[in-house]
Amino acid sequence: MRYAETGFNLEIDLTRGSIERVETDPKLTELHLGGLGTNTKILWDRVPPETEPFSPDNLLIFATGLLVGTPAIGCNRTIVTTYSPQTLLMAYSMMGGFWAPELKPLICRVKAQVKLQNLFDRS
């Protein structure tokens, strides 16, 4: 294992209420270099392009880069990736802090209970 790579992903399916520990392919990390690259590959392979953002088929993926937990400056970043309801394209966000070194890669399948656009509708 190299740095933040654990060899396993934790897959949480809140639509069925299941949690699985899934072994990862080491080549995936070698080819896509952790964090954003790996998240993009997982999203590309497992979510069809016609998937709606609030569909249970959409994934919410949390991951870290390969240098998390090392003395490298600015590398303790957490990356969250999914399909965006605003653009209908892949969206990602990066955040810093102390959570990334503690995080193991998470892949979540969540069925939205309420669509966010309904919360902001003022009509």
| Superfamily grouping for domain 8-119 | Aldehyde ferredoxin oxidoreductase, N-terminal domain (3.60.9.10)
Nearest to 70 by CA among 100, 32, 33, 92: 100
> Can you give the pTM of this predicted structure?
0.80
d(CA 80, CA 39): 8
Q: What is the pLDDT of residues 31-63, one digit of tens each?
A: 887 788 888 999 999 999 899 988 888 999 998
- With 0-12 / 13-18 / 19 or more C-beta atoms within 10 angstroms meaning exposed / middle / buried, residue 75 is buried
Nearest to 107 by CA among 68, 59, 64, 66: 59
Q: What is the pLDDT of residues 78-110, one digit of tens each?
A: 899 999 989 999 999 998 888 887 777 788 887
d(CA 53, CA 87): 9
